[in-house]
Amino acid sequence: MMSVEDKLESAETRPPHVLIFPAPGQGHVNTILSLAELLALSDFQVTFLITPHIHNRLRRFAGDIEARHPNLTFETFGHGVLQNPALFGHNLKELAEQTKSQGKLKLRELCSEHSGKPKVGCIIVDALLGQVDSELGDELGIPIIHFRTASACSFWAYFNVPKLLQCNELPIKGEEDMDREITRIPGMENLVRCRDLPALCRGERKGTLSLDTLVYLALHSQQAKAVLMNTFEDLEGPVLSQLRRHFPSLYTLGPLHVLLNSKKASKTAAAAASGREEEKDRTCMRWLDAQPPKSVIYVSFGSVAVYTRAQLMEIWHGLMNSKKPFLWVIRHDLVAEPDGDQGLPAELQEGANERACIVEWAPQQEVLEHAAVGGFMTHSGWNSTLESMVAGVPMICWPLFGDQPTNSRYVSEVWKIGLDMKDTCDRKIVEKMVNDLMVERRQEFEKSAEALAALARKSAGEGGPSYSNFHRFIEYLKSIC
């Protein structure tokens, strides 16, 4: 039997155990997994809680992460809608509710003395699931940290919705109100219009989380011990200074994929192993290799968004009419009609030619870093925005929901690294914007994009602000564990 002294010595030498719980969307998981790998590289014991579907997808596309990081383990949970990935983009409300209820049970199990795992010292939870910790933090006596995977500017917009309602800047009165400027968000005065606020400010869509819920979650993050964000000071400094008045323990760690690569580079074994992604489809990369430098427009609208056939055909014709080669990622479930009709229009299925490469999946970071890519047509999800930014690739933004309308406004009006095409889907506009980005204003956008890319890499590189913030966070995490 171990003595008290032996037990204390064992507890002191055992690495701290952190439990991480992301929302089960691919974008959320990708971001928070980068943090999990960073903590594993920093000698923490990390348990990552996800659905079986997401776990299987990670194994397929990201190689054997557990072999690379022996102290990072995956736990799975979920049944019902959580086992049906086809529903992920169609009923986010039910997905969130089941994730919270089923995830809470699994969290409680993993934190129990009989879990077979080392005692959990801290839980890092996706802020979109912030309601999960309302009971668990007090019940289990474990510190809770929130990870906000969206941009700081969208987070700040959600946080200010109650003020906008109080001063009658919300609700939006209709289409004729969309270009009215919002003046009561500190640090964003006269920058955003009604159409640039997070999409739910326009009204709720069936199957989505409510605006009330997302505003509650923004305010609720004040109860967390700390808030983590995938952004950097040179990018969103004015908004971050406003947020820190309400969230004093806010750590900016972004761009996380650059920070992770910096850390891996300092551990040669991990860097060498990280390239094992046997099942990636390399077709698009071989196609890119045959294209001239900066000639290709890369098109991808993320892992969740669903569009109509008519919208996709307008984009198709606009791209074709631009006379520029393009690489387009079209998921099998990207197109849906109200009557349930799914599937790609015949023109797209048959349309691959010398100027078009259509694939169902692509290694996005690698694509954006390719010399042939000169522009990115994106849905303005935060991961895609940061990845394009780091690669120095200008953007055409076509946002749909969540934080995307706010991100796209900042891309065009604050960072000056692209064009905002929100609320329009017309082949003539697509053609014009592609030519503006790739020809008429190419030098202007490339100059801005390259300058911002340098700042992003410097921030997450050794000695940069995000790099230093990560080390401060590590020390803080050790202290609370």
Tokens of 452: 């911002």
Active-site residue identified among 126, 196, 403, 436: 126
Residue with tokens 């690294």: 417
Looking at residue 12, its pLDDT comes to 55
Q: What is the pLDDT of residue 270?
A: 41
Residues 468 and 436 both lie in one domain? no
pLDDT tens for each residue of the chain, 481 residues long: 445 444 444 445 678 999 999 988 888 999 999 999 999 999 999 999 998 888 888 887 776 787 888 999 999 987 665 665 555 555 666 777 778 778 888 888 898 877 778 899 999 999 988 877 766 777 888 999 999 999 999 999 999 999 999 999 999 999 999 999 999 999 998 899 999 999 999 987 666 778 998 999 999 999 999 999 999 999 999 999 999 999 999 999 999 999 999 888 766 544 333 333 334 567 899 999 999 999 999 999 988 888 888 999 999 999 999 999 999 998 877 876 654 555 556 666 565 567 899 998 899 999 999 999 999 999 999 999 999 999 999 999 999 999 999 999 999 999 999 999 999 999 999 999 999 999 999 999 999 999 999 999 999 999 999 999 999 999 999 999 8
Q: What is the 3-state secondary structure (H, E, C) of 68-86?
A: HCCCEEEEECCCHHHHCHH
What's the CA gap between 364 and 393, in Å, rounded? 12
Whether residues 137 and 182 fall in one domain: yes
DSSP-assigned states of every residue in 244-290: TTT-SSEEE--SHHHHHHHHHHTSHHHHHHTT--TT---HHHHHHHT
Per the domain annotation, does 162 fall within a domain?
A: yes
Residues 218 and 344 in one domain: no
Angle at 23 between CA 16 and CA 362, to 5 degrees: 105
For residues 256 and 394, state if they share a domain. no
Could you tell me if 287 and 168 lie in one domain? no
Residue 384 and residue 264 share a domain: no
Residues 6+ apart with CB under 8 A from 473: 226, 228, 251, 253
Domain co-membership, 137 together with 245: yes
Q: φ and ψ at 396, to 5 degrees?
A: -110, 120
* Judgement on whether residues 386 and 263 belong to the same structural domain of the protein: no
Residues 219 and 322 in one domain: no
Asked if residue 9 belongs to a domain, the reply is no
Q: What does the DSSP 8-state code read for residue 111?
A: T
Q: Examine residue 5 and state whether it is found in any structural domain, yes or no.
A: no
Describe the chain by its helix, strand, coil percentages, rounded to 5. Answer: 50, 15, 35
With both helix axes pointing from N to C terminus, report the angle between 382-391 and 442-460 in degrees, rounded to the nearest 10: 100
Three-state DSSP class for residue 89: coil
Known catalytic membership, residue 138: no
Q: How far apart are CA 396 and CA 297, in angstroms?
A: 10
Residue 327 CA to residue 299 CA, distance in Å, equals 6
Domain presence at residue 1: no
Question: What is the rounded CA–CA span in Å between residue 433 and residue 319?
Answer: 10
> What is the enclosing helix (H) or strand (E) of 18?
strand 17-21
437 and 466 housed in the same domain: no
Q: Which two tokens stand for residue 367?
A: 């694509």
Token readout for 61 is 């596309």
Bridge partners, residue 229, by sequence: 148, 252
| Residue 358, token pair as written in the block | 């259509």
CATH number at residue 119: 3.40.50.2000
**355 part of a folded domain:** yes
Tell whether 401 and 430 lie within a shared domain: yes
- Grouping H, G, I as helix, E, B as strand and the rest as coil, residue 351 is coil
As a whole number of angstroms, the distance between CA 100 and CA 417 comes to: 37
Quick count: other Cβ atoms within 10 Å of Cβ 177?
14
Which residue range is the domain that position 335 belongs to?
283-457
- Catalytic residue, candidates 28, 69, 370, 379: 28
Q: Within a domain: residue 373? A: yes
User: Within a domain: residue 211?
Assistant: yes
| Furthest C-alpha separation in the chain | 78
Residues 306 and 341 in one domain: yes
Q: Bin 302: left if φ > 0, else alpha if -120 < ψ < 50, else beta.
A: left
Question: Which pLDDT belongs to residue 65?
Answer: 83
| Domains held by the chain: number | 2
Residues in the chain: 481
CA dist., res. 181 & res. 203, Å (int): 18
Q: How many CA atoms lie within 13 A of 119 on its CB side?
A: 11
Is 210 contained in some domain?
yes
Helix (H, G, I), strand (E, B) or coil at 300: strand
On the 0-12 / 13-18 / 19+ scale of CB atoms within 10 A, 160 is: buried
Burial of 184 (0-12, 13-18, 19+ CB in 10 A): middle
Instruction: Confirm whether 220 is a catalytic residue.
Output: no
Tokens of 127: 């802020």
Q: How far apart are the first and last CA of the chain?
A: 26
